[in-house]
Amino acid sequence: MISPGITGTRTLTVTAADTAAAYGSGTLPVLATPAVLLLVERTALESVAPQLAAGDTTVGTLAELHHTSSSPVGSTVTCRTELVEVDRARLRFSFKVTDRCGEVAFGFHERFVVHTEKFMAKAQAKMT
């Protein structure tokens, strides 16, 4: 059973591939907002994965992300998530991303628990 209070932590050392210039979301060689979101999603996904039933996973459905500070190539950022609400299959996480100088980003992220086989069958039906 998944319950509020589950936490996750993941770090990322910013490389050229993680930058706004590489993602196309900007032109500067600093951590891209899409890369921050990916870090948040991975951290949240991994934090609850051990609690899921066989054949289940989670999918991201919503993000409220405030990217408040830049992080240059070579810096290390840490993402911390906490599961703050469970409403049936909906999981709501708060998150904070920091580097050695302080806050980089914060916000909320929601994921839904889905059965992989059923979910993929519905997705593949769009191709017919």
The fold of the 7-125 domain, in CATH, is Thiol Ester Dehydrase; Chain A (3.10.129)
Mean pLDDT value of segment 64-83:
98
Q: Which residues are catalytic?
A: 33, 41, 67
Mean pLDDT value of segment 27-49:
98
Alpha-carbon separation of residue 5 from 22, 39, 55, 66, 93 (angstroms): 35, 19, 23, 22, 9
Give the pLDDT of residue 50: 97
Give the pLDDT of residue 30: 98
Mean pLDDT value of segment 14-38:
98
Residue type, 122: K
DSSP alpha helices (H): ranges in the chain?
A: 20-23, 33-48, 116-125
What are 56's two structure tokens?
């289940």
Give the pLDDT of residue 1: 79
- Identify the sign of the CA torsion 69, 75, 80, 81: positive
